Amino acid sequence: MFIDKVKIFIKGGNGGDGTVSFYTEKYVSNGGPDGGDGGDGGNIVFLVDDRKTSLGDFRHGQVYRAEDGARGDSSFCHGKTGKDLIIVVPRGTVVKDEETGGVLADLFDDGAKIVALKGGRGGKGNARFKNSRRQAPSFAQSGVKVDKKAVILELKTIADVGLVGFPNVGKSTLLSVLSNARPKIANYHFTTLSPNLGVSQYYDNHFTIADIPGLIEGAADGLGLGHDFLRHIERTRAIVHVVDISSTDGRNPVEDYKAINKELKAYSLVLAKAPQIVVLNKSDVLDEKALEKAIKTFSTKTKIFDPIIVSGATNQGLDELKKRIFELLKILPKLAPLEYEPYVYPDRDTSEFEIIKTPEGFEIFGGMIDELARNVTLDNPDSMRYFQKRLKLSGVYKALRKAGVKEGDTVQILDIEFEYRE
């Protein structure tokens, strides 16, 4: 199954907790703290593999989690760093944050790699909290927990040339005779349900061709297969616009040509201005006189006086088409990734806090409070003294007084409640 747009969830590994430990050995008294730090959590990494052609592996929208960091150990042993989780995607995948729409990465080249979400930092062991006044700290720091993020993966086919046109105009047949691709071909609409890529050779030169599945009127507004196909044309340097000149399906070649260009313009002005080579296909179906009349009518009404007349069935005009494509590509700029400001998930601000008045008293919360809470063990007096000192030094008590706190008021910080005393 071809899938080119999915939503998945990613989560970096949590940091490992620091540990509380004291050095002990026979005949050694007061060995001191030797608790090691926890390991950092693993990162979420996206990696391009050119052999992959679809996002079908991600269609269930599962959660991808990197490994957590390990807890620290005694003897100053650092916890093991969690393994990165590598998510393999096709070339041309754009990774976006769902909430902000920010582009995390445009994975344009084979082998490209990007760290999309970092793991949490490991917590400090109790050895790190020792100082001249606190000789034997009996508390350690918890590792940083990482929130789950929703991201959108969107695949945009990368090719030199995109074949566009209404269903059943012979694009797949043309791709099969112009390149090494072997797409499914049949005489009914929407035989092609996913873009097919092929490599075409012109003497010693090569270029890639993508058969973009058939468009219909209203595609730019999402009708039919709509945006699912239009997004794949954005990555092409030039467009080969295929028109069925035989009108065997009762369609009007002129109206078809105008309708497709209207959809391209409605979807993207940049796309509408992309260089086009117009190809009149299925020329073998008409006799010489009828073909001449059809070509003249098409050129007069569209002002296209240099269409290439081809037949995918008999290979007529293919050499001329290859030559025209190659000469056009020579003067066009090379394919390039999107121009964007990479979005990076921000680290939480550990300096901010907020105080609100509640019916019970006052509540304090924010990034600074969460960071301090990593160092607190509720039933440990040493840990609580450290916590109170940090609150004072961080200006929390001053802010409480400014907010109107009075002697005896209840103050809540996370799961801790205490009476305010001057």
Residue 276 has pLDDT above 70, yes or no: yes
**377: its two tokens:** 């063990």
Residue 416: phi and psi, rounded to 5, are -100, 130
CATH 3.30.300.350 in the chain, residues?
354-419
Q: Which is it for strands 93-97 and 103-107: parallel, antiparallel or unpaired?
A: antiparallel
CA 256 to chain centre: 35
Residue 191 has pLDDT above 50, yes or no: no
Q: pLDDT tens digits, residue range 387-404?
A: 778 888 888 888 888 888
The percentage of the chain sitting over the pLDDT mark of 90, rounded to a whole number, equals 42
Q: In which residue are the tokens 């590792």 written?
A: 143
Q: In which residue are the tokens 């995390």 written?
A: 104
- CA nearest neighbour of 87 among 121, 114, 119, 109: 114
CB atoms under 10 Å from CB of 72, counted, come to: 32
* Domain 159-331 listed as CATH 3.40.50.300: yes
Residue 337 has pLDDT above 60, yes or no: yes
Q: How confident is the model at residue 301 (pLDDT cuts 50, 70, 90)?
A: very high
Q: How confident is the model at residue 225 (pLDDT cuts 50, 70, 90)?
A: very low
CB atoms under 10 Å from CB of 179, counted, come to: 23
Residue 183 has pLDDT above 50, yes or no: no
User: What pLDDT is recorded for position 323?
Assistant: 94
Q: How confident is the model at residue 181 (pLDDT cuts 50, 70, 90)?
A: low
Q: In which residue are the tokens 């959590």 written?
A: 41
Residue 223: phi and psi, rounded to 5, are -75, 155
Mean pLDDT of 322-339: 91
Comparison of pLDDT for 347 and 257, the residue scoring more? 257
Cβ partners under 8 Å of residue 251, min gap 6: 166, 244
Q: Which fold has domain 354-419?
A: GMP Synthetase; Chain A, domain 3 (3.30.300)
Mean pLDDT of 106-129: 92
- CA nearest neighbour of 353 among 343, 363, 340: 363
The per-residue pLDDT of the chain, averaged, comes to: 85
- The string of DSSP codes covering 28-72 is B----B-PPPPPPPPPEEEEE-TT----GGGTT--EEEPPPPPPP
Q: How confident is the model at residue 357 (pLDDT cuts 50, 70, 90)?
A: confident
- CATH placement of domain 1-156: 2.70.210.12
User: What pLDDT is recorded for position 229?
Assistant: 57
Residue 237 to residues 47, 50, 73, 207, 377, Cα–Cα distance (Å):
25, 19, 57, 11, 61
Q: How confident is the model at residue 194 (pLDDT cuts 50, 70, 90)?
A: low
* Residue 110 and residue 49 in contact, taking contact as beta carbons nearer than 8 Å: yes
Helix, strand or coil, per DSSP, at residue 227: helix
Q: How confident is the model at residue 182 (pLDDT cuts 50, 70, 90)?
A: low
- The string of DSSP codes covering 334-374 is PP---------PPPP-SS--EEEEETTEEEEESHHHHHHHT
Mean pLDDT of 370-375: 76
Residue 329 has pLDDT above 50, yes or no: yes
* Residue 99 and residue 116 in contact, taking contact as beta carbons nearer than 8 Å: no
Q: How confident is the model at residue 28 (pLDDT cuts 50, 70, 90)?
A: low
Mean pLDDT of 220-242: 67
Residue 54 has pLDDT above 90, yes or no: no
- CA nearest neighbour of 155 among 292, 54, 269: 54
Q: How many residues does the chain have?
A: 422
CATH 2.70.210.12 in the chain, residues?
1-156
Of the ranges 204-208, 213-217, 407-411, which one carries the lowest mean pLDDT score? 213-217
User: What pLDDT is recorded for position 56?
Assistant: 84
Q: How far apart are CA 190 and CA 231, in angstroms?
A: 17
Q: How far apart are CA 32 and CA 23, in angstroms?
A: 6
Residue 119 has pLDDT above 90, yes or no: yes
pTM of the model as a whole: 0.75
Q: How confident is the model at residue 348 (pLDDT cuts 50, 70, 90)?
A: confident
- CA nearest neighbour of 366 among 419, 415, 409, 413: 413
Q: Helix crossing, 226-233 with 253-267: angle to 10°?
A: 80
The percentage of the chain sitting over the pLDDT mark of 70, rounded to a whole number, equals 89
- CA nearest neighbour of 386 among 377, 399, 397, 396: 377
